[in-house]
Amino acid sequence: MLSKVPRTSALVLIVLAVLGCTASAQSIDISAVSPATHTLTITIKGTIEPVLSGLDPLGLDGKSGVLTILASESLSPTTHTATSATYTLPAGAVTVTAGGNKFKTKSPSKMIIHLTSTADTLTLIVAGPQSSVVTDTTFLKAGSWTTAVLQHPGVFKPSPQTLKSATTPSGPGCKIKYTVLGSTTVLGFHGTGSSSSTLDPALPDEDLDQQDVAQ
């Protein structure tokens, strides 16, 4: 009878060790699937001018413009090369104000970041109202981003920085191209560009037991 006691104690120790390993593994898994996430905000604002090509049917020449982008820094590129990355932003991630026109995207947008020796460029392609398509190209200082931006979106530095207008439709510098009713217009843009990152708030878990009692 007494000989069974050591065997029982050993069995209890083994069970406790297994449970301890399981609990440890579970805690690791939880932290792995619940990383802290950040939201990137990019704001481009200034004056839309001059007309570089087209007839400007929306009358944006000389008007103020603001472009705001919200993107999760956990996004992965849909395509990328050694020097560029293309990200797909969800509907509602982009807000555009140009003169008296203001809209928030209702469909996915495309954001392209290209790193070169002369400039880092940010190109945004969005679908606007009345089947219009707007392409905004922003030239930032070379080295504004590190190569880490080719894996996930991130802030650029320095921020803010001065943006200079393009002088030709296809040349360097900031520009806005829009197509509406079959007409394409390209305008220059000058102003400032800034970026920031904020930690997303941790939302509490719902107490399902209390909900059941309340119901």
pLDDT at 11: 42
85 with 149: CB under 8 angstroms?
yes
pLDDT at 113: 98
pLDDT at 163: 98
Structure tokens at 20: 């301890």
Residues of the chain with pLDDT under 70: 1-36, 205-215
Place of tokens 């040349």: 171
How is residue 131 annotated by DSSP?
G
pLDDT at 202: 74
> Would you say residue 209 lies in a domain?
no
> Would you say residue 100 lies in a domain?
yes
CA 192/CA 138 separation, integer angstroms: 10
Query: Can you say whether the dihedral through the CA atoms of 26, 27, 33, 34 is positive or negative?
Result: positive
Domain count within the chain: 1
Q: pLDDT digits over 122-170, tens only? A: 999 999 988 999 999 999 999 999 999 999 999 999 999 999 999 999 9
What is the rounded average pLDDT for all residues in the chain? 85
pLDDT at 201: 83
Domain that holds residue 160: 39-196
4-15 core/surface letters (b: 16 or more CB in 10 A; e: else): eeeeeeeeeeee
Of 177, 178, 68, the C-alpha closest to 130 is 178
pLDDT at 211: 52
Q: Distance between the two ends of the chain, CA-based, in angstroms?
A: 54
> Would you say residue 192 lies in a domain?
yes
> Would you say residue 15 lies in a domain?
no
> Would you say residue 215 lies in a domain?
no
> Would you say residue 153 lies in a domain?
yes
> Would you say residue 183 lies in a domain?
yes
pLDDT at 22: 37
> Would you say residue 72 lies in a domain?
yes
